[in-house]
Copies of this chain bind each other. A is one copy, B any other.
Amino acid sequence: MVKKTANPDIVYPVNGIKLSSIHSGMYNSQRLDLAIIEIEAGSSVSGIFTKNNIKSPSVIISKNNLNKMNPKYLIINSGNANAGTGKKGYEDALQYCQYLSDETSTDIKAILPFSTGVIGERINVEKIIKFIPALIGNLNQASWIDFSNAILTTDTCNKIISKKIKINEKYITITGVTKGSGMIKPNMATMLSFVATDLEISNNKLKELLNTATNISYNMITVDGETSTNDSSILISTGKSKLSFEKLSKIDKESFEKLLKDVFIELAKKIIKDGEGATKFITINVKKIDSKINGKKIAMSVANSPLVKTALFAEDPNWGRILSAIGNSDIDINDYTKIEIYFDDILIFKDGEIYVNYNEEMAKKYLKNKNLIINIVFNTGNSSSTVWTTDLSYDYIKINADYRT
């Protein structure tokens, strides 16, 4: 599969973060597939991992190690998820982590492994070990784009966001990378995401910021309702800017948090835009509902409905399927006649029936857009939730029927 590179104009390095990527052959094609991130001492690192009940050994090791100390090295491979590989898969991961630990005189608990790719096959430890010295030798601050390419699987393009903000006469950087386009319904995390900033942030605050940002970004997207065995979302604060979050004014704190959320949301949207076989980028807003949790459940029920997704692929305003999907979540609906359904600002459904001035031709014309907005107004409260998703096309089948062959 050809990897198109969709770089932003500029990628800002993050002081305190070095990266290195290499072609190890874990993927069949000639592409980068193995990478290391080196995190300078004194940094804070926080992580959120998949809620799938069957976790990759990489996830188990990384999660445990993160609870013990701040990591120094992240080692990431694509092409093999090292999941469903049992005790041997666990030992495999430990083995190459041990090698990296020896080569760098680093406590093995300061090394976190991440893997993405096919489930159920043993990972090639020898291949990884063989390339670790070269990876260490090539570490540098500028290699974010190579890194963003090395972690891809069925993605058709890399996904990177880099932003700067001026606070107290200093520039603070946030640079992040993500991957994923199928098996996407992250549950408290995405496939793989690594975001770093040079702002100094305590471990506790970092955890809080990561939770908030992940909940409004990666946990609000779905391609196919599938939560992978390997989802991980990592946030690193190196503190190399010599500016501390704690000491910022309230306004500066808010500006930084806003920027961080923007980075996460833009990365999450990139996954959806690259969703397997996607021909549409669909935003589902549930508005005026009694709680954000219920809003998310309703939006996810619509977003994951194969019948809604195929109708949008066909550009058919078959809104009855949206209504049925709303009814299919486990949220009790006392009076569905309060619900209004819109394509963007085209009112379709109101007072329990098709809107009297609904114009199907207008709706059909609207559905020809690549970016679609579905607004579902409950009129039962003041909360709202937004979920982003894709349509379901022939190419989703093609990609997933061909993945291993």
Interface size on A, residues (CB 8 A): 67
Which of B55, B316, B337 is the one whose CB lies under 8 Å from A401? B316
B331/A85 in contact, CB under 8 A = no
How many angstroms from the CA of A323 to the CA of B352 in the assembled complex?
42
B324/A229 in contact, CB under 8 A = yes
Closest-by-CB residue of B relative to A88 is B353
Within 8 A of B (CB), among A242-268: none
Give 1 or 0 for each of A311-336: 1 = CB within 8 Å of chain B CB.
10110101111011111110111001
A393-B397, A394-B397 given as contacts; is B404 within 8 A of A318 (CB)? yes
Q: Is A54 an interface residue (CB 8 A)?
A: yes
Contacts of A352 in B (CB 8 A): 84-87, 89
How many angstroms from the CA of A120 to the CA of B327 in the assembled complex?
14
Q: Is A402 an interface residue (CB 8 A)?
A: yes
B88/A327 in contact, CB under 8 A = no
Within 8 A of B (CB), among A76-127: 81, 83-89, 118-122
Q: Is A349 an interface residue (CB 8 A)?
A: yes
User: What 16 additional pairs, Cβ within 8 angstroms, besides A54-B327, A225-B304?
Assistant: A53-B328, A54-B333, A54-B336, A84-B320, A87-B352, A119-B318, A119-B324, A120-B320, A120-B354, A122-B353, A226-B306, A226-B324, A229-B327, A306-B400, A310-B397, A316-B405
List 28 A-B pairs, Cβ < 8 Å. Answer: A53-B326, A53-B329, A53-B331, A55-B327, A84-B352, A86-B351, A86-B353, A87-B352, A88-B353, A89-B352, A119-B318, A119-B324, A120-B349, A121-B354, A122-B354, A183-B307, A183-B324, A225-B306, A226-B325, A229-B323, A310-B396, A310-B397, A310-B400, A311-B400, A313-B397, A314-B402, A316-B404, A316-B405
